[in-house]
Amino acid sequence: MKTFGLIDCNSFYVSCEKIFNPYLKDKACVVLSNNDGAVVARDAGSKALKIKMGQPFFEIKDLVEQGLVIPCSSNYALYQDISNRVVKVIQSFVPSYEIYSIDECFVDLTGIKESELESLCKEIQKKILKDVGMPVGIGVGRTKTLAKLNNWASKNWKDKTGGVVVLLDMERQNKLLTFTDVNEIWGIGSRTTEKLKHLKITKAKHLADFDKQTLRKHFNVNVERTARELQGTVCFSLCEGPEPKKNIASTRMFGERIKELEPLRQAVATYAARAAVKLRREGQLTSCLQVFIQTSRFDSLPYSRTALVPLEAPTDDTRTLIAAAQAGLTGIYRQGFAYAKAGILLSQFIDKKGYVPDLFAKPERKNTDKLMSLIDYVNRTQGTGTIRFAAEPENAGWGMKRDFLSPAYTTKWSDLLKVRTT
């Protein structure tokens, strides 16, 4: 029989901040969204203060000023690097896995003796904490849905479970299903929960036992499959590689309004360069670029425009994408507006490995792949922005507001922690 595990990092963004800052260890802490606008991550301490997910930052400023909670600006480069380190540890224990999100990873534990599963999971948990500094919870079940549910139990009863819950016996598993509200099930959102209530389905066990044909008729095939998974039937397999993205976006709200064309050109060039890096990481080429600019929707005369720029040939060359973005921006920019946001969207992808250039198309630049690979390598190892194009500013006055940004502890030499010996 199949056996799945889900390894989930605890309060991931906040935990990343605490790894390198001992001062935060016993403090209530939150991580803020772009431009420090709202709370996007909390730890147990901030939850105890009744700080809500998505709560605007200005509503908790009094708590910050009183020293009751510590805010951190979002540091996505740090979070992604820590996530990569966690996955690297997981790779050393299991032959196949699926990265579900930046802080969650499904693993295939099929073939491991049931008597050894809990000890293996605790070993993985201990190794991740020791090597990375990240606390994790692990749930193990006969299906991905049950593994996800058992992971939820591992965190809710952390003191009793030690953060590891292994349930393979369906009799014991059903006890948890009987206790668990249906909205805690993976894939069951708030709208579906409300609809299920009309069928008197309020617990996970109710959903598992409900007639499957009726579920498909009233909802969709995924709800039916979820119900079957709760009974131990595998309907969702492990996806070892993520599906190729259909589009890539790079967009930000500005830290301050932009009225002139030149800083807008800098912003659009910066976003195009970031999107190009993501594109190369996916191994894709893009045939279409969109650039947009907009004012605040609360302005008395809001303005929003998008330009679609078809590309002569599929590409992942940053230079070509920046040029296309600038051409699109020229066509939609209008004076007299205070712009609050701009962005780039790449679409119409082609797999780079299987791409054959058009014989009659304009010849490509020489050594493009070598140049882009070199730039990506230097920026990845020496810090983002070490090499940039002339259109990208070194320090943007319009940049995203991040007053509580932590250092680039793992991706920038100058920000590495220094250990002094006496």
Q: Is residue 184 included in any domain, yes or no?
A: no
| Domain assignment of residue 308, given as a range | 248-382
> Collapsing DSSP states into helix, strand and coil, what is residue 195?
helix
Strand order in the sheet with 136-141: 97-101, 104-108, 4-9, 136-141, 164-166
Q: Is residue 52 included in any domain, yes or no?
A: no
Contact 96, 112 (CB under 8 A): no
Please give the model's pTM, rounded to 2 decimal places: 0.78
Find the Cα–Cα–Cα–Cα dihedral 24, 25, 30, 34, rounded to 10°.
Answer: 60
Half-sphere exposure of 119 (CA within 13 A, CB side): 5
For 223-265, the pLDDT digits (tens) are 999 999 999 999 999 885 556 678 999 998 888 899 999 999 9
Q: Is residue 321 included in any domain, yes or no?
A: yes
For the chain, list residues with pLDDT below 70: 240-244, 358-363, 422
Q: For residue 406, which amino acid is it? A: S
pLDDT of 34 reads 82
pLDDT of 132 reads 96
Q: Is residue 346 included in any domain, yes or no?
A: yes
- Structural domain tally of the chain? 1
Q: Is residue 272 included in any domain, yes or no?
A: yes
Give the Cα separation of 376 and 373 in Å (integer). 5
Neighbour tally for 280: CB within 10 Å? 19
Q: Is residue 182 included in any domain, yes or no?
A: no
| Apex 328 CA angle, 326 and 334, nearest 5 | 95
Neighbour tally for 55: CB within 10 Å? 16
Q: Is residue 342 included in any domain, yes or no?
A: yes
Domain CATH for 348: 3.30.1490.100
Q: Is residue 345 included in any domain, yes or no?
A: yes
Q: Which of 218, 234, 214 is nearest to 226 (CA)?
A: 234
- As given in the structure block, the two tokens for residue 391 are 């259109």
Give the Cα separation of 143 and 108 in Å (integer). 10
pLDDT of 359 reads 63
- As given in the structure block, the two tokens for residue 328 are 């699109």
